[in-house]
A and B are shown apart, each in its own frame.
Chain A
Amino acid sequence: MSANVDIEFRLNGVATRAKVPAAMSVLDMLRDLLGLTGTKYGCGEGECGACTVIVDGLSINSCLMFAADCHGREVMTIEGLASDPAADRLKKSFVEHGAVQCGFCTPGFVMQAHHLRGKHRHLGEHEIRRGIEGNLCRCTGYKKIIEAIADTGAIAG
């Protein structure tokens, strides 16, 4: 049992307070404490990307970050993309390109793709393949995910 820590941060644009055990991961905080289940547990050790969220503009595996370290930061999850028109286009592209099968990895891919679109001036196939290499998918063989992201292109440039 670990001591609790009081934190304040912005979650999907909303000022948020939470009391979190010191050893709790961001993933567990999101899912178990805050009820945001769109972020998925796939491995718990940063190897599959199913739990990808964006913290202060960086995409991270939320299973590897302490919840207490969210204090003072900006955290964006898949639920936070609901009100972002640029993300709508991305999600629609995943749907229309057949990039979704069982869907368990999909929120993580959408978050990573959203991050890549903001980061790269040019988002070609090479950048996309490299950019999603930390996300595992067992259903699609990645091809349609790559196509879905390529079709939306970068938003940074």
Chain B
Amino acid sequence: MGALEKVTDGSLIGKRIPKKDAPEKASGKTRYIHDIDLPGQLHAKILRSAHVHARIKSIDTSAARAMPGVHAVITAADVAQRPIGVAKDHLPLKSGLVRSMRDEIAAVAAETEEIARSALGLIKVDYEPLPIVASAQDAMKPGAPLLHGEDLVVPGPDGKPLVAHKASLDNVAMVFSYMQGDLAKGEAEAQVIVEDVFQLHYVTHCCMGVSGVIAEFDASENLVLYSNTQVPFLHKREFAEMLGMDAGRIRIIQPPIGGGFGSKLDIYPFEPIAIYLARLTKRPVKLVFSREEEFLASPTRQPVLLKLRSGCTRDGTLTFRDVETVHDNGAYTSWGATTPFVMMQTISSLYRVPNCKYHTRAVYSNNPYAGSFRGYGNLQATFAVEAHMDRLAESIGMDSLEFRLKNAQLPGEVTPQGMHFKSCGFQDCLRVAAERSDYQRKHCEYRADWSDGNAIKRGIGMASMLHVGGGAKIYPSDGCGTILKIDDFAHVTLLTGASEIGQGSETVLAQLVCEELGLPLSAVSVVNNDTDITPWDVGVHASRTTFIAGNSALGAARKAKDKILAAAAAKFAQPAEALDLRAGCVVEKASGKKLVEISKLIRSLHFSDKAELVMTTYYYEPPSQHQDREFRGDVSAAYAWATQVAEVEVDTQTGIVKLVKVTGAHDVGRVLNRLGIEGQIDGGIVMGQGYALTENLIIEDGVVSNPSFRDYKLVTAPEIPEMDVAFIETMDGEGPQGAKGVGEAPAICVAAAVGNAIYNATGVRITALPFTPENVYRALHSNSQPPVWIDAA
């Protein structure tokens, strides 16, 4: 390259950039936790309860302990336990009561998995079965057995007894209440009111890589945990509290993760159990689930019973919304209990609704407990709210798109809940999705075919969603740290706190850095999986990583760029503002004339009298607010919007619903990596399809009756719909290069849109998920009862 040659500006933003780790993954070279074995490692297995609800009378582990190859057998009696989980109502190993079929009673560490499994069979547990609380409805009946009827008392840090969890004398685990405006006024103003009860079912994450952990203590009692967690820095602290050790002595390493989707946001008993066994045996202990165990002992999406009353005037203005929900909390409290945080945002702020009330209870039962799952309550809330948008429009004889447009949020609005929509492409999402799917014409046409005598009916339905797109300020900080170094050859190492769970964060972060530094993507390595190396991040959740970690990476890159340009300015006697970095070189901004290669400039900085390296750090904290006690506050720095239109074919003779096409319009701020964002949206739509049509974790009297892929139906390749997705680029002012979060969004509205499409096809409104052939057939042939509200309690 001649000294005066111009270099062109090859922007990476919006391009189709292959995932950086994909070549390793496609070659089978990636080492997931399942693929790692440490020297001297033992294998652990967990004995779970034989009863859904029982009192443990005695446990005899003597035969298991005597088995050759067994190094340790533990029960609650052998370890000093502190509680885990969101409400600290849960000890990893149970004594006294077992409250669900997944409950952990004992664990074995042995030379091989086979020996550990055999040893479990030698443990004798004597139970006194207790009456089963099979549902939230049962739990709320007067006189129902209390599942956490006594205080949970554990030894405190000072050795004195500590009440970790107060007794619940009504089986209620958590309550949320929210109010805006004046509900009575809104009801009085309404000219049309509709009311329904919706039932949202159990589904589970089905990560292709099953859960696993490896725990190891070094000779100085420092803990190294190989973990699939999505929140390594939060868990460091939690593990420290739980183990009564200094958090500084815990290192969490995350091997590549075989799917997350929210499932790895909480500590589950298997992790402390592996740690107890490692501490006891002084050997590395690996514990990996079987697929059956994954179905039985993983969190679920929160099942919800939801009563919704909505009203509007005849000109199509929403006047009120009144929502009450009961969440089946299961036996213990995990993140699922807190999904109302997100649900209330949809209820209060997706559309302008001045008067709104929301009350919810999470109620203990003997069922599996719910965790966080992509969308975090929003699928459930959107399903109900969007069904009512259609019902209200129909009641006043208004086109359902026009009705939505009339009530949809606009840029600049601050909702009564305090959310400030600085960028908002909602109206565009509605218009674009409707136009591309020919929604209005088809919606009228299909409706006219209700009584044409054909068994196969076509229908089209629409739903929209609002979700956090600029982080979520739930913890004291919602930030992410970055350390960036550039070596003598202009190779960048980006150390980010942000975890990679397959979503492509490492590629987007590298892209943002390259864009800033004028380097090719191959010039960046990303390190993102070791708490001893990477700076703090709150975790991969809430669709936050592109936005938060992206801004953090950008901040570090800008500091590095400033340093390089300052050095170049001095060297070439030009103002730094007149220079830029492009294609690996320092150039004159206006002419594009190349001045020097970045690597050469960095070497001249390094090997000079001053001997400087280019290393920068940056911590990004989004300008969002914590909510107050009444749940008001601008909790995210940006909000994502989407409209999806589903077109279905309903076979009225079999109840089979075929999802033919999904047309989506997503306000993503700006597309950074087109390939990556398409992958997120395709995958989210198909996950939403599963929630709507096929997936159903069947739980009868607390027992999961379909813990396998044979009986739990995931969508397969032949069943996916045609997907047409448009991106609405609103260029968010705070987002990195204008981008907003998108990870959860595409899964949120599918079921709601499908529900509206089934109605459009058949004239039958089904308010309970899933839309399996049996459920749909029964609903179409008046053979099923709609969900009923709980009047007890």
Contact = CB atoms under 8 A, between A and B. Distances in A.
B708 A105 contact: no
B170 interface: no
B723 A143 contact: yes
A102 interface: yes
Interface hub of B27, B257, B714 (most chain A Cβ within 10 A): B27
Interface string B17-31: 011011111111111
Interface in A99-157: 100-107, 110, 128-130, 132-146
Contacts of A102: 207-209, 256-260, 501-502
A91 B718 contact: no
Contacts of A145: 717
A78 B720 contact: no
Contact of B709 (A45, A128, A146): A45
Nearest to B688: A141
Interface in A24-78: 31, 37-45, 47-48, 50, 77-78
B503 interface: yes
Contact of B31 (A37, A39, A107, A146): A37
Interface SS, A side = loop
B550 interface: no
A129 B34 CA distance: 29
Interface stretch (B156-164, B453-461, B551-559, B674-682): B674-682
Contact of B26 (A41, A50, A110, A144): A110
Contacts of B331: none
B717 A78 contact: no
A98 to B, nearest CB: 4
Interface SS, B side = loop
A79 interface: yes
A86 interface: no
Contacts of B208: 40, 42, 48, 50, 102, 104-105, 136-139
Nearest to A81: B27
B708 A135 contact: no
A20 to B, nearest CB: 14
B658 interface: no
B291 A132 contact: no
| Contact count band on A | 35 or more
Contacts, number: 164
B19 A98 contact: yes
Contact of B28 (A39, A41, A134): A39
A6 interface: no
A144 B679 contact: yes
B89 to A, nearest CB: 30
Contacts of B678: 98, 144
Given A103-B22, A103-B502, A107-B28, A140 B683 contact: yes
B291 A98 contact: no
Contacts of A82: 27
B481 interface: no
16 contacts: A37-B28, A40-B208, A42-B209, A48-B208, A91-B27, A95-B26, A100-B22, A101-B502, A101-B503, A101-B679, A106-B26, A128-B717, A141-B684, A141-B685, A142-B715, A144-B679
Interface of A: 31, 37-45, 47-48, 50, 77-79, 81-82, 91, 94-98, 100-107, 110, 128-130, 132-146
Given A44-B290, A45-B709, 6 more contacts: A101-B503, A103-B21, A104-B207, A138-B687, A139-B259, A143-B720
